[in-house]
Amino acid sequence: MADLEIYDQPQSLTATGLVKIWGCNDTILVDCRPFIAYNEGHIRTSHNINCPPIVKRRSGGSLPLANVITCANSREKLLAGDYKNVVIYDQNTDDFQNATKDSNLYLVVKSLQEDARLRNNVFYLTGGYDAFTCQYPQACVKPSSPSSGSTLDSPRSCGKEFRLTDEFFRGEAVEILPWLYLGSSVHASQKSKLRAAGITALLNVSNSCQNHFPESFLYKTIPVADDSFSEIGKWFQDAINFIDSVRSASGKVLVHCHAGVSRSATICIAYVMQFKKCSLDEAYNHVKTRRNVIAPNLNFMSQLEEFNKQIVCSYPGLPSSTVSPLGFLNSSCANHMPKFDFSFGDVGSPVSPVLTPDGHAHFFGTFQPLMSPS
C-alpha cells in the first residue's frame, strides 16, 4: 500500500456512476495517462494532463493547476466553481490506495487538494480507462484505423475531440429519412449537389457555420457549440417542428453542423426517435448505419436519454422495458431491443403499430409532434 500523504482519499466512482452524473454539466474529467496512451483512446471530453518527466521531477510532489487542466477556459470554470465534481482516471487502477506517490494519479489528486482556491468533490474512476471503455465504448474517442487519416489532437483543446479530416467531409450527404438528410458544412456549401438531392431547406446546428444560399433555400439556425455545457435538448422541438414543416411542404431538409458528427447527428437522432416513436438505441443505430462517423458527445447523449424518457411517457404503447437509463452506451442492451421497420406510409395516415410474434414492431403512417414539456 502506498504511503499516502494527501488530506483525504478521493471517492471511488464506477463507470456507471460517471455516466449518471455526466449530463449535469458540473463534472470535469481528467485523464492522467501519458499522451501516447491518451492519443490511442480516451473518454470523451476528458482533459489530458501535461506532465513530462522534467515537470514531475521539479514539481516537488505537486503539479501546477495549469499542468492538470491545460485548457485555460476549463481551468477558469474550475476556479469559478462551475465544476462541482472532478473525476480523475488512469489506465486501470482499481483502488486508489494502490497508487504510488510518483504516479500521475496520485500527483493530480494531491495537487487538487492542496490548491486552496478549489472546493470540488474529487473522484477517481475505478478500473480506469480500461474498465470504462469495455463497458461504454461509444463514450470513448479512438482513431478508427491507421488508414482512415483520423488523428487526435495533443493535448485536446476545448470542444475538439479529434482533428477533422476528409473522412467527415467526403462523399454525399446521407439520407436518414426520405425528407431528412445529414451532412457537414462542406455538403451545405455545395449548391449544385443540394439541388440534385432535392434539398429545399437547411438546418444549421452550429454557432459558426455560414448560411451560404439564403436566396435559394429556407434556413434555420440552432446556435449551439459542441461541448459539455451546451443545452441542445432545449432545441429538439424547434428542430423537429422545422423538419416537419419542410416535410409537409413536400420538401427535403439537410441537417448539418461543421463535421456532421455530433450536433447535427444529435438532432437527427432526436427526430427519428419522435417520428418513429422508437427508443434511443434504435434511432442511434438507424442514423449510425447511414453515416458511420457520427459520434454525439456524452453531454448530448445524456440529453437524448432525457428526451427518450419523454417519448416513453408520451407514448405509453412503447414498452418501457426497452429503455434503460443510458442503455445506449452498452451494446449488450441492443440484443434486447425490439426491431423497428423504418418503412413509411402515406403522409398524414393514422399510426398503427403492429407487433409480430417474433417481437418485431412495425409502424405505419406518421406521428404527430410531441408538445414541448411544460
Q: Which of 297, 299, 318, 294 is nearest to 308 (CA)?
A: 318
* pTM score: 0.49
Give per-residue pLDDT as tens, 251-290.
999 999 988 999 999 999 999 999 999 988 889 989 998 9
Domains of the chain as residue ranges with CATH: 11-141 (3.40.250.10), 166-364 (3.90.190.10)
Angle at 323 between CA 374 and CA 310, to 5 degrees: 10
Where would I find the H helices in the chain? 15-22, 35-40, 53-58, 65-68, 72-79, 104-114, 128-135, 166-169, 185-188, 191-197, 236-248, 263-276, 280-290, 298-314
Q: How confident is the model at residue 89 (pLDDT cuts 50, 70, 90)?
A: very high
Which residue has 432526436 as its cell numbers? 270
Give per-residue pLDDT as tens, 133-148.
988 887 888 765 333 3
Higher pLDDT, 148 or 309: 309
Angle at 14 between CA 13 and CA 17, to 5 degrees: 80
Rounded CA Rg of the chain: 22
List the catalytic residues.
257
Higher pLDDT, 169 or 154: 169
Give per-residue pLDDT as tens, 5-31.
445 678 999 998 888 887 667 889 999
Q: Which of 318, 304, 303, 309 is nearest to 367 (CA)?
A: 318
Strand partners, 122: 86
**Mean pLDDT of all residues in the chain?**
76
Integer Cα distance of 39 and 161 in angstroms: 11
Mean pLDDT computed over 203-224: 95
Q: Which of 161, 144, 123, 167 is nearest to 42 (CA)?
A: 161
Q: How confident is the model at residue 355 (pLDDT cuts 50, 70, 90)?
A: very low
The confidence score (pLDDT) of residue 234 equals 96
